[in-house]
């Protein structure tokens, strides 16, 4: 027995069958399979993507325009940072200009009067002492007990007065308290070719409290 030969249906036949099926069953379901990456910006209508069609948490800051996202609340103040290390010493500054002269100060008040000086000041003298020509003589004169020496000197007289010169003149003291005066003189009249004797008197200025 020969098997009948089967033929592939033609495209026209397939389309006719599909059309007949849709016409009989209505348009309750239609399945369309789109190729991958076939839908782009051109295929999406304006305002077609609404909030209901966007997955929560799927957008990032870069997906929004400037000013569209509200600013967040200010964060808490951070902890105080550690003190930084001291900086290096700067270079020495230039010398400043000379300042203006200051105003004259007010006059000071008068000071208090000083205490009166020592009373009972007196000059005491030694007895006259002769000094021969070419002679060297020392004479002293003391103050009285309780007095202090404040100065002194000597007085020369006689024909050899012009050649009687002092070699020394100083106060005397007891326990560092000046209490008299002493002088040493030299009669040099012989050197002048006219030897003459002279007389000296030692003098001291004494003061008592």
Q: How far apart, in Å, are the Cα atoms of 36 and each of 48, 55, 97, 121, 191?
A: 20, 21, 84, 137, 149
* 139-165 as b/e: b if 16+ CB within 10 A: bbbbbeeebbbeebebebebebbebbe
Residue 30: the pLDDT is 45
- C-alpha radius of gyration, the chain, whole number: 69
As a whole number of angstroms, the longest Cα–Cα distance in the chain is 203
Map tokens 């003061």 to a residue.
207
Per-residue pLDDT tens listing for the chain (209 residues): 555 555 566 666 655 666 666 566 554 444 455 666 666 666 677 776 777 777 777 777 777 777 777 777 888 888 888 888 888 888 888 888 888 888 888 888 888 876 666 568 999 999 999 999 999 999 999 999 999 999 999 999 999 999 999 999 999 999 999 999 999 999 999 999 999 999 999 999 999 97
Q: Domain boundaries in the chain?
A: 126-207
Residue 72: the pLDDT is 76
Residue 206: the pLDDT is 96
Residue 110: the pLDDT is 85
| Distance in Å from the first CA to the final CA of the chain | 181
Q: Is 175 helix (H, G, I), strand (E, B) or coil?
A: coil
Q: Hey, what are 168's tokens?
A: 């020394």
Residue 29: the pLDDT is 46
């Amino acid at each position: 027995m020969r098997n009948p030969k089967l033929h592939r249906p033609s495209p026209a036949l397939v389309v006719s069958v599909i059309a007949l099926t849709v016409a009989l069953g209505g348009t309750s379901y239609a399945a369309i399979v789109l190729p991958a990456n076939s839908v782009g910006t051109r295929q999406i209508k304006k305002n077609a993507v609404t909030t209901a069609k966007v997955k929560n948490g799927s957008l990032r800051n870069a997906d929004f325009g400037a000013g569209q996202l509200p600013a967040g609340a200010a964060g808490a103040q951070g902890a105080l940072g550690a003190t930084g290390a001291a900086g290096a010493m700067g270079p020495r500054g230039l010398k400043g200009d000379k300042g203006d002269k200051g105003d004259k100060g007010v006059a000071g008040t008068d000071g208090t009067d000083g205490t009166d000086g020592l009373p009972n000041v007196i000059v005491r003298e030694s007895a006259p002492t002769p000094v021969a020509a070419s002679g060297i003589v020392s004479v002293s004169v003391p103050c009285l007990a309780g007095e202090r020496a404040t100065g002194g000197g000597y007085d020369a007289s006689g024909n050899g007065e012009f050649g009687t010169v002092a070699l020394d003149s100083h106060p005397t003291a007891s326990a560092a308290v000046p209490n008299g005066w002493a002088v040493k003189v030299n009669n040099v009249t012989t050197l002048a070719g006219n030897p003459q004797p002279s007389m000296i008197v030692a003098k001291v200025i004494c003061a008592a409290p």
